[in-house]
Structure 1
Amino acid sequence: MPFTRRLLHAALLGLTVLAAAPAMAQDKTPLKIVVGFPPGGSADTLARLIAENLRDQYGPIVVENKPGAGGRIALQQVKRAEPDGHTVIVLPSGPMVLFPHVYKKLDYDPVKDFTPVSLIANFQFGVVAGPASKVKTVGEMVAAAKAQPGVMSYGTPGLGTLPHFMGVLFEQQVGAKLNHVPFQGGGPANTALIGGHIDYKFDVVSETAELHRSNKVRIIAVTGAQRDPQVPEVPTLKESGIDMVAGAWFAMYGPAQLNPAVRDRLSRAVAAAVKTPALRERLIGLGYEPVGSTPAELATAQANDLKRWEAPIKATGIQLD
C-alpha cells in the first residue's frame, strides 16, 4: 500500500475510533435501578434481587434509594432521566394506579411519562382479625359489622395506601361500614391489633403471616384469585362468598420514549431472571407470585388497575395535597 494511502487509511481509522468513543463510553455506563423507598424494604429487596440476576448481561448495576413522598421523588428522577436504558425504576403499583386518583396535583403522568418494561411479581392482601375479635370467618366479620355500622375498626399502614383502599373496596363489596384507623406503617398496626386497640387489619400477607402462624392474629381471608402459599389454609374472599378479587404488583419502568429495542432487551432479561428456579423460589419465599412479562402486558395491568381503583377511591372523597 503506497504511503499516502496508508496515511489516509490510518487517519480514517482514527476518526472511526474517535466517533465510536462516546458510544463505547456510554455502553460502560452502569444500569441504575432507582427505588423510591429505604433500603431493606420490599421494593429495595426486589430491585437488588433483579440486579443480582442481570449482572451477567449488564455488568455492574447500581441500586439507588431515593425514598420520600411514597415513591414520587424517585419517579421524578426517572421521569427526567435520558431514555437511553441506563436508568429504570422498580416500584409497587400504588404510585402508578392509586396516586392519580388520590392526589389533587401529581407531578407526573403515570402513563405518558414512563415506559413499561416488565411486571416482576404479584402480591395480595390479608383480612386479619385480632385476638380480641371472636370472628373466625369473613362471613362472621361482615355480620358483626352490619349489626354495628361504623363501630368495628380496621387498621392500615396509612391513609391513601393500598391496604386502606383494599378496606374501602371490601366495605363497598359487602355493604358494611367499618371505622378506618391509619397508622405510620404496618408494624404499628400489628402492635395495635395484637393489643386489642383495633378489631381488624388489612395489609400485605407477608406483613402478618408470621404472627398468624404463631397464633397472635388470625388471617381470615386473602384478596387474591388464589390462596397465598404463605398461609395455604386461609381461603380467598371468593371462596368465602365475597365477590372480590384484588391484589397489587411490583414492576420495572423506564423514562418515556425509551428506545423499543433497549426496552425489549431489558424486558426479556427481567422476565427470564424472574422465571429462573432460584429467583422464583426466593420470590415465593418472600410472599410474591413471580410473573415476568412483556411491556404490553404491564401496560394492560396498569390500565386495568387505573380503571379498577377510580370508583372506590372517588367514593371515599379522599383528596391529598
Structure 2
Amino acid sequence: MTTRRSVLRGLAAGAAAALAGTARADDMTTVLVGAASSMDFTARLIAEQLRQALGRPAIVSSKLGAGQRLALGECKRAAPDGRTLVFATSGPFSVYPYIYTKLDYDPVADFTPIAGISLFDVAVATGPMTGAITLEQLLDWQRKQKSPVFASAPGNGSLSHFVGISTALATKVPMEHVPYKDSGIGIVDLAAGRLPMLITGLQPMIEMHKAGRIKLLAVSGATRSPLVPDVPTLKEAGVNVTSSTYTGVFGPAKMPPELVKTTYEAIIPMLSNPGIREKLAQQAMTPWPANGEQLAALLVEERKKFEQLVKATDFPKQDA
C-alpha cells in the first residue's frame, strides 16, 4: 500500500533528480557549429578536448542553415560564461559584412575571439568538357568560349566564389559565375561534362581526381596540400591569387579575459596532438594555432581584403 511518507519520498527523489539534471546542464559546454562535414567533425574534436581539459560535459549542437548565421545568432544571445561557444569559419566575420544588405549580428562587437583552429583551401578542377590537364590549358580553353563560366560551391559569397572572381580578374578572363549550394552535385556535373570548371573544397574532390574522372589543377593556399602533393598552388600555376578560409572558436561578447584564457588553454593543446593533426589533415585542414588577439587581427586583415575585392567587382549585395 502506498503511504503518505513513500509518496513524499518519491517526490523528494524526483525533485533532487531534476535539480541534479539542471546542475549538469548548467555545467555543460555547448559548441555550436553552423556547417556540416569537416566543420562538424572538427567541432566534435574541440568538444572532446574541452571535456577532457575542463572535466565537465561538452557537446556539439549543429545549427545548420543561413551560412552559419543561425549558429552565430545563438552564440550572440548566450551568456558570456564560457558555456556556449561557436566554431565557425572566417567568412561570416570577414566577408558577410560586404555581401549582405543587413546582418542580425555585428561581427566585431557581438563576439569574443578565443582560438584559431585551422585553415583550409579550395581547389580548381576541370573535367571531360575541356580536356585540360593544366590550369593554363583550362584558361586558354575558357578564352576561346563566347560565354566562359566557372562554378563554385557552396556558391554566392563563399571563398570558392571569390577565388573564381580573383582568378578571372588576375587572368583577364571574364568568366560568369554558376553557384552550386552542394559540392557533391557540382562534382557530379563536372565529371559528367556539364561544367568546364569547378571551384570548391579540396577534400570532396580527391577521390574523383585519383580515379581520373576529374582533374585537380590548383589549390588556393600558399602551399601545396599533402593530400595531393602533385597539384600546384594557383601561384605556381601562374595565377597570382592566394586565399584560404580560417576557422576559429568564438564566444559571446564581453567574456571575461580570464575565462577567455582558460578556454584557449583548454583547446589549443589539441593542435599539437599528432593524432588530431592527422585527423585534420584527412579533412584537408591545416592546424592554425592562434590566440584570440591573433585571430581578431587576422579577421581585420581579411575584412580589408574582401572589402576591396567586393568593391572592385561590384559584387551585388544580397538579402540576409
The TM-score normalised by the length of structure 1 is 0.87
The residue identity in structure 2 corresponding to 1:205 is L
| Structure 1 residue ranges, 4+ long, deviating more than 6 angstroms after superposition | none
Question: What's the C-alpha RMSD, in Å, of the aligned pairs?
Answer: 1.7
Confirm or deny that 1:47 pairs with 2:64.
Answer: no
Rounded to whole Å, the distance in 2 between the matches of 1:35 and 1:156 is 19
Query: Residue 75 of structure 2 is aligned with which of 75, 78, 81?
Result: 78
Q: Secondary structure at the match of 1:132?
A: coil
The answer to whether the 8 Å contact 2:280/2:287 transfers is yes
Aligned equivalent of 1:204? 201
Rounded to whole Å, the distance in 1 between the matches of 2:141 and 2:75 is 47
Aligned equivalent of 1:301? 298
Rounded to whole Å, the distance in 2 between the matches of 1:80 and 1:152 is 41
The residue identity in structure 2 corresponding to 1:43 is M
Deviation at 1:26, TM superposition (A): 9.1
1:212-223 aligned at under 5 Å gives the runs: 212-223=209-220
Deviation at 1:272, TM superposition (A): 1.0
Rounded to whole Å, the distance in 1 between the matches of 2:25 and 2:273 is 26
Aligned equivalent of 1:119? 116
The residue identity in structure 1 corresponding to 2:125 is V
Pair 27,198 (structure 1): closer, same or farther in 2 beyond 3 Å: closer
Deviation at 1:268, TM superposition (A): 2.0
Deviation at 1:122, TM superposition (A): 0.5
Rounded to whole Å, the distance in 2 between the matches of 1:181 and 1:233 is 27
Rounded to whole Å, the distance in 1 between the matches of 2:301 and 2:147 is 30
Output one character per residue of 1:112-169: Cα deviation in whole Å (capped at 9) or x when no partner: 1101011111100111011221222122222232333632443433222221121111
The answer to whether the 8 Å contact 1:157/1:189 transfers is no
1:1-321 aligned at under 5 Å gives the runs: 29-38=27-36, 41-58=37-54, 59-148=56-145, 150-314=147-311, 315-321=313-319
Deviation at 1:185, TM superposition (A): 0.8
Number of residues paired by the alignment?
A: 295
- What runs of 5+ residues in structure 1 fail to find an aligned partner? 1-24
Rounded to whole Å, the distance in 1 between the matches of 2:237 and 2:315 is 29
Q: Secondary structure at the match of 2:107?
A: coil
Output one character per residue of 1:37-64: Cα deviation in whole Å (capped at 9) or x when no partner: 35xx222111101111221222210211
Percent of pairs identical after alignment? 33
Q: Secondary structure at the match of 1:293?
A: strand
Rounded to whole Å, the distance in 2 between the matches of 1:94 and 1:69 is 12
Rounded to whole Å, the distance in 1 between the matches of 2:151 and 2:73 is 33
Deviation at 1:221, TM superposition (A): 0.7
Rounded to whole Å, the distance in 2 between the matches of 1:146 and 1:311 is 26
Q: Secondary structure at the match of 1:291?
A: strand
Rounded to whole Å, the distance in 2 between the matches of 1:37 and 1:151 is 30
The answer to whether the 8 Å contact 1:149/1:176 transfers is no
Rounded to whole Å, the distance in 1 between the matches of 2:84 and 2:127 is 43
The answer to whether the 8 Å contact 1:154/1:178 transfers is no
Rounded to whole Å, the distance in 1 between the matches of 2:154 and 2:62 is 21
Pair 26,263 (structure 1): closer, same or farther in 2 beyond 3 Å: farther
Deviation at 1:91, TM superposition (A): 1.1
Pair 289,211 (structure 1): closer, same or farther in 2 beyond 3 Å: same
